[in-house]
Chains A and B, each alone.
Chain A
Amino acid sequence: MNVDRITEKLNILADAAKYDVSCASSGSKRQNKDKGLGNASNGICHTYTEDGRCVSLLKILFTNVCIYDCAYCVSRKTNDIKRAAFTVQEVVDLTISFYRRNYIEGLFLSSGIFKDADYTMERLVQVAKKLRLEHNFNGYIHLKSIPGASDELMREAGLYADRLSINLEMPTEAGLKLLAPEKNRQDMITPMNFLKDEIIQRTEEKKLFKKAPIFAPAGQSTQVIIGATPETDQQILQMSDQFYKGFKLKRVYYSGYVPVLSDSRLPALNTAVPMVRENRLYQADWLMRFYHFKVNEIVNHDNPLLDLDIDPKLSWAIRNLQEFPVDINKADLRMILRVPGIGVQSAQKIVAARAFRKLNWDQLKKLGIAVNRARYFITCNSPQYERRDLTGTAIKQYILAESQSKYIKNSTVQLNLF
């Protein structure tokens, strides 16, 4: 092993892959087989970067050589950077060696497009195939589907990978046209559609024949860059909703644009990464997937942007005060889930626990609900509750006044500048 050469390649190709935010290793059902190596049925973050993101997979590009020239991408053709490429064997060895030391859950392999889509996709599939067939590796494999790759290759990829993803890159087609004129959205949607149908069909087969091979058990995901183009949160979340429903995606990732290149079409290099907005989008995404919120309850014609000061659930509650207060000891689970400061687990515990006795503030606090936010919206087994007829604005002010959120500090710093 040429240590220096591998080190250099790893540095270049990990650095180029880091803007892909997905690092999920959950959702697969792959078990250890024949006393081989690995198990992909857990979903573990093995460490966290200094920016607080989960490191679960060895996330690298096969190569950062690319024939495209997308404005938002560090690996674009005209960018003057060092280029490198792994061999299939190098990626396999790195994955196995890291996995055996419990550094990672598996591999996330993406790539710049070299030569053409099929040629690139074929290399990615080769890595996965070698890991599965030659090394009996049962860890997690996430492969990037290359737009324009043939159905045959996509089908093979699904046989070895746990998850496949195609990045839509921009929330709207117009955004894509602006920043990546050589790409077109249809090329991304076609393989997504193919995989959706294939996954549905294979799942049906699996129900009938237990021996049928598993096919992309952790499904498909996608990523959009936010803050590089002027889309509203409403446009972004409607797009997500449409993809969750239409393509049965497991996840849509939102990647706050990190200014890496100077280009007149993009935000300037010193622009801050829109981290708060990204966080609010994820919260909204969670509301749609786990809290039974409809997208137009979160963002709509009158409220196209998420409130950056407060989370989207609180924001919804303040706009819909007529729904409150909710009696914690009587309301159904669906409504309890809508109370600001109550998460899915607490809501389920509340419903289980109140079958034994009525709950009071102390007990609710012990169950893990954020009373400082919830208290404006609920009553419980206590004579104490918010009796004042507060306006939404007042509630927001009260909550912000006692909040320790880092976001508030950020916004006061900004105000002080003027």
Chain B
Amino acid sequence: MTTLIYDGTFEGLLTAVFEIYEQRLTHVRMQKGEWHNTALFENVIKVVTENTRATRVLKGLKQKISAQGLQRFYAAHMAEMDGEDDNLIGYIRYVFDSPKNVEEDYGNKYVMRVSEIVRMVRREKHRMEAFIRFQELRDKTYYSAIEPDFNVLPLLIKHFRNRYADQKWIIYDIKRSYGLYYDLHETQYISLDFATINPGNVISAYDDNEAVYQELWRNYFTSVNIPARKNTKLHLRHVPKRYWKHLTEKI
């Protein structure tokens, strides 16, 4: 068993694949981050991300699976789910070792697992598209904080750009401490330093009408409910409790 330590990036993962084939490794285990030299008898390789190698692997993948298949695989990696890198490597190896395109071979455990991961990631992305609640700041920027289960922020860019093209907005992942900022022209990644922000300033940063519309929305949410049809189980299935703290209507 060989442990491959890589930097967690997609290019890093692809470089690792290159190493596996170059060194003809059979049993491998992936690990993210730094090399702590604890297991003396273990075989450990530190993968140094190299774009030329990653590009060659990517080119190979493109010949084996469809463009959508590659996109799904990319999303599965980007989600940063714990302990799934071995399955992703297993998937790539199965793809390379098969003579034809196997992306729909759901009977294979790696293909099945990637499909499950993609389903979870897509659902989380969709939930963010639904549950993001913007608050208008004084400078007319619309701000929203999120805490998604997986890293889906990069998947949200296209959706929100296509929708809110005429307003500035920030979507901030407070779990992963980075955000997206759209300034009417471009979207860029940002990080905010909340430690230095005085809570009083945050409240005064909101537009005067913001509280009014939030209250109107809560009122609307209550008005459309039909008490005679109450179904808490269904409600919770659609809106799990962990999302409530960022939902205006549930606060």
Mark A residues whose CB is within 8 Å of B.
1, 3, 6-7, 10-11, 14-15, 17-19, 31-32, 35-39, 42, 44-55, 58-59, 94, 97-98, 100-103, 136, 256, 258-259, 273, 275, 349, 352-359, 363, 366-367, 406
Contact = CB atoms under 8 A, between A and B. Distances in A.
Contacts of B144: 102
A49 B209 CA distance: 25
A97 B144 CA distance: 15
Interface of B: 102, 104-108, 112, 116, 126, 129-136, 142, 144, 159, 162-167, 209, 212-213, 215-217, 219-221, 223-235, 237-239, 247-250
B166 A36 contact: yes
B130 A100 contact: no
Contacts of A356: 102, 104-105, 107-108
B164 A49 contact: no
A353 B108 CA distance: 9
A59 B224 contact: yes
Given A18-B226, A52-B235, A100-B167, A42 B133 contact: no
B223 A48 contact: no
Chain A contact surface mostly: loop
B105 A11 contact: no
A196 B212 CA distance: 41
A6 to B, nearest CB: 7
Contacts, number: 163
A49 B225 CA distance: 5
B126 A52 contact: no
Q: Which of B107, B112, B130, B227 has the most CB of A within 10 A?
A: B107
Nearest to B144: A102
30 contacts: A1-B209, A10-B220, A14-B224, A15-B223, A15-B224, A18-B224, A32-B162, A37-B165, A42-B129, A42-B159, A47-B221, A47-B247, A47-B250, A50-B231, A50-B235, A51-B227, A51-B230, A51-B231, A102-B133, A103-B248, A136-B166, A273-B226, A273-B228, A273-B229, A275-B231, A352-B106, A353-B107, A356-B102, A363-B112, A367-B112
B226 A357 contact: no
B41 to A, nearest CB: 36
B162 A363 contact: no
Contacts of A1: 209, 212
Given A32-B165, A37-B167, A44-B126, A55 B221 contact: yes
Given A352-B104, A363-B112, A14 B220 contact: yes
A49 B238 CA distance: 10
A349 to B, nearest CB: 6
Contacts of A7: 215-216, 219
A104 to B, nearest CB: 9
Q: Which of A19, A39, A102 has the most CB of B within 10 A?
A: A102
Contact of A51 (B112, B135, B226, B248): B226
A98 B217 contact: yes
A362 to B, nearest CB: 9
A35 B184 CA distance: 9
A363 B250 CA distance: 39
Contacts of B107: 353-354, 356-359, 363
